[in-house]
């Protein structure tokens, strides 16, 4: 008898466990019915962690009605006043977008994003951001993301209903998990710091660039956006982050002895 059956079962279990690492983050949702329908879309695909940022109406009987058998996800949903805590502890942040605007952010189609993020979920939590019904994610919210994810659609009419977008993304994650994605690991051999630490770093970087007058507050242009893209691509680990923060702190103090120590630290690294 082949052992394929047992391996398949193990792989499916690993995939199911991976799906538990995803959180769906709905931002500023206007219609509570969409939240209920999104919960249902998630549960049928094996996702369970719902985060709501500033929902217009919550809790809501309409949400419970549309959730049908997934009302438990609504009741367990974490509700936040801001995006920040919804991303706490996440290793990877993906934003979904109906329009792929400028080339300012790395972009992926939903199928590739599902495979990629499922592998990353082996090592930590992944956040999937969904925007407002009327105008999607803001630029600031997009800049919190490593990638933007797009569901391929009719170019002349490309905006899905929010809950239907959650459905397609959850389905692709499930398919990736069932297709053996639950066995894959991220193609990187270091542990990047989480979203919270990256955000603290970007705040520190911006303040330092203001302090040393590199960033002109009257003409910021797209400098911070470009730097976010650069460091989000690099995915620094804890050690690298400590060095970067050390450099910023030294630059702010104008303390060039400390900057030299940080540079030496960097040289000592293998």
**Interacting residue ranges for ligand SAH, rule: CB under 6 A:** 96-99, 130-131, 133, 135-137, 150-151, 153, 158-160, 162, 165
| Matching residue, tokens 């549309």 | 66
CB of 151: closest distance to ligand SAH in angstroms? Answer: 3
CA-CA-CA-CA dihedral for 28, 58, 82, 232, to nearest 10? -60
Q: Nearest CA to 113 among 171, 74, 157? A: 171
Cβ closer to ligand SAH: 73 or 165? 165
Cβ closer to ligand SAH: 135 or 253? 135
Whether a cis peptide bond, with omega within 30° of 0, leads into 59 is yes
Cβ closer to ligand SAH: 96 or 184? 96
Strand 49-53 and strand 22-27: pairing? parallel
CB of 167: closest distance to ligand SAH in angstroms? Answer: 11
CB of 224: closest distance to ligand SAH in angstroms? Answer: 22
CB of 191: closest distance to ligand SAH in angstroms? Answer: 28
b/e code 54-70 from CB counts within 10 Å (16+ = b) = bbeeeebebbbebbeeb
Cβ closer to ligand SAH: 55 or 131? 131
Beta bridge partners of 107: 148
Alpha-carbon distance 122 to 108, whole Å? 20
Please give the full DSSP string across 61-102, using - where no structure is assigned: HHHHHHHGGGHHHHHH-EEESSHHHHTTTEEEEEEE-SS--S
Alpha-carbon distance 9 to 17, whole Å? 12
CB of 120: closest distance to ligand SAH in angstroms? Answer: 19
CB of 105: closest distance to ligand SAH in angstroms? Answer: 13
CB of 156: closest distance to ligand SAH in angstroms? Answer: 12
Alpha-carbon distance 221 to 208, whole Å? 16
Residue 58, both tokens: 């919550």
Cβ closer to ligand SAH: 158 or 246? 158
């Amino acid at each position: 008898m082949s052992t394929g059956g047992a391996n398949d079962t193990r792989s499916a279990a690993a995939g199911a466990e991976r799906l538990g690492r995803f959180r769906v983050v709905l931002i500023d949702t206007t219609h509570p019915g969409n939240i209920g329908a999104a919960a249902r879309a998630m549960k049928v695909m094996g996702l369970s962690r719902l985060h709501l940022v500033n929902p217009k109406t919550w809790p809501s009987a309409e949400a419970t009605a549309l959730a049908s058998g997934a009302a438990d996800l609504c009741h367990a949903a974490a509700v936040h006043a801001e995006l920040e805590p919804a991303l706490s502890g996440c290793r990877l942040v993906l934003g979904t977008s109906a329009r792929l605007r400028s080339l300012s952010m790395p972009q992926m189609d939903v199928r590739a994003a599902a495979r990629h993020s499922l592998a990353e979920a082996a090592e930590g939590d992944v956040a999937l951001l969904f925007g407002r019904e009327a105008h999607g994610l803001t630029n600031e919210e997009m800049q919190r993301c490593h990638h933007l994810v797009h569901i391929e659609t009719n170019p002349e009419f490309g905006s899905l209903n929010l809950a239907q977008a959650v459905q397609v993304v959850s389905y692709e994650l499930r398919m990736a998990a069932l297709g053996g994605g639950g066995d894959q690991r991220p193609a990187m051999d270091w542990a990047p710091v989480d979203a919270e630490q990256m955000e603290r770093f970007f705040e520190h970087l911006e303040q330092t660039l203001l302090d040393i007058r590199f960033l002109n507050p009257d003409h910021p242009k797209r400098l911070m956006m470009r730097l976010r893209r650069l460091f989000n691509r690099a995915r620094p680990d804890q050690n690298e982050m400590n060095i970067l923060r050390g450099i910023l702190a030294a630059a702010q103090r104008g303390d060039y002895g400390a900057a030299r120590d940080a540079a030496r630290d960097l040289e000592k690294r293998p």
